């Protein structure tokens, strides 16, 4: 009974439950506490990994409870009264998200991004805004360094590294941005619409990580090399994951990248 009450509290649910209810609760909590949401902070990343393991154990406990058709704990001593051991971290408190510049759905760009114009070896330009030409549905990008807008098919994201797949682009700069690549933003939309896309997206992430490692090595950025290599290994570890676990892991990684990107922009505005 104690283990069941603790598992219910960890997943934030109340009985009665079926297997699907447990799965949905587990997905929601893992997406909130995934270690990838705390990349760069070793202490929080380790704590998040420990909490994720606890969530996985909670899911197993509840699934077994349902399989054995056991009676649920009385609500009077329910999960809200259970406390974690001192060795286990509390869930991170929810924070009100600040508004950030919108992302253009066609280019995957937003204000502040740095780009290069074809043939992609010139100066870095800074995106001010993107706009759509309603006459032919073409997308255009306005930059701070030029008066005229540039058609989006002539630009490429630059000086960045993707925390989800390890894709990256030069030139080598001290303040290169860590942000989701346009391909990952597209894959996130596909994954949200169709969980069956998870296996294909995992393969795509591994391919982009492999290419990202080669690109990072070519421009001589050791930070990018390490990130791309780690993401390639992560993607390969997911080869044996069950479909539901794979879907949750990918959503967690995408969500982490998106949140980190938004937090970075919010911090820049405060400065």
Tens of pLDDT, residues 151-166? 988 989 999 999 889 9
What pLDDT, on a 0 to 100 scale, did the predictor assign at position 86? 36
Residues in Cβ contact with 206 at an 8 Å cutoff, skipping those fewer than 6 apart: 232, 235, 236
Q: Answer positive or negative: Cα dihedral of 73, 79, 83, 88.
A: positive
pLDDT exceeds cutoff 80 at 257: no
Q: Are the C-beta atoms of 213 and 232 separated by less than 8 Å?
A: yes
What pLDDT, on a 0 to 100 scale, did the predictor assign at position 60? 86
| CA 165 to centroid of chain Cα atoms | 10
* Mean pLDDT, residues 212-240: 92
More confident residue, 124 or 136: 124
Measured distance CA(256)–CA(271) in Å, rounded:
23
pLDDT-based confidence at residue 9 (cuts at 50, 70, 90)? confident
- Return the CATH number of the domain spanning residue range 2-81: 1.10.287
What pLDDT, on a 0 to 100 scale, did the predictor assign at position 78? 38
**In the chain, where the domains are located:** 2-81, 159-270
pLDDT exceeds cutoff 80 at 84: no
Q: Are the C-beta atoms of 49 and 267 separated by less than 8 Å?
A: no
Share of residues in the chain with pLDDT > 70 (%): 76
Strands 177-178 and 160-161, sheet pairing: parallel
* Mean pLDDT, residues 193-207: 91
pLDDT exceeds cutoff 50 at 89: no
What pLDDT, on a 0 to 100 scale, did the predictor assign at position 96? 37
DSSP line for 253-270? HHHHHHHHHHHHHHHHHH
What pLDDT, on a 0 to 100 scale, did the predictor assign at position 72? 84
What pLDDT, on a 0 to 100 scale, did the predictor assign at position 205? 93
pLDDT exceeds cutoff 60 at 256: yes
* Mean pLDDT, residues 179-188: 86
* Mean pLDDT, residues 56-63: 86
Q: What are the beta bridge partners of residue 143?
A: 127
What pLDDT, on a 0 to 100 scale, did the predictor assign at position 88? 38
What pLDDT, on a 0 to 100 scale, did the predictor assign at position 59? 87
């Amino acid at each position: 009974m104690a283990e069941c009450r603790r598992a219910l509290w960890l997943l934030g649910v109340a009985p009665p439950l079926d297997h699907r209810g447990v799965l949905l609760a587990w997905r929601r909590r893992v997406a909130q506490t995934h270690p990838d949401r705390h990349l760069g902070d070793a202490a929080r990343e380790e704590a998040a990994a420990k909490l994720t393991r606890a969530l996985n154990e909670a899911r197993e406990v509840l699934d077994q409870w349902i399989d054995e058709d056991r009676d649920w704990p009385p609500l009077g001593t329910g999960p809200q009264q259970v406390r974690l051991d001192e060795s286990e971290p509390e869930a991170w408190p929810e924070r009100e998200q600040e508004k950030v510049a919108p992302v253009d759905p066609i280019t995957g760009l937003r204000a502040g991004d740095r780009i290069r114009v074809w043939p992609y070896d010139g100066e870095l330009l800074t995106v001010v805004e993107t706009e759509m030409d309603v006459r032919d549905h073409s997308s255009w990008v306005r930059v701070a360094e030029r008066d005229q807008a540039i058609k989006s098919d002539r630009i490429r994201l630059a000086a960045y590294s993707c925390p989800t797949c390890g894709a990256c682009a030069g030139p080598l700069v001290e303040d290169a941005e860590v942000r989701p690549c346009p391909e990952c933003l597209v894959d996130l939309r596909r994954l949200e619409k169709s969980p069956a896309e998870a296996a294909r997206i995992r393969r795509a992430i591994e391919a982009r990580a492999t290419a990202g490692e080669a690109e990072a090595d070519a421009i001589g950025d050791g930070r990018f090399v390490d990130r791309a290599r780690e993401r390639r290994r992560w993607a390969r570890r997911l080869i044996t994951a069950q479909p539901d676990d794979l879907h949750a892991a990918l959503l967690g990684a995408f969500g982490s990248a998106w949140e980190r990107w938004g937090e970075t922009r919010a911090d820049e505005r405060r400065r």
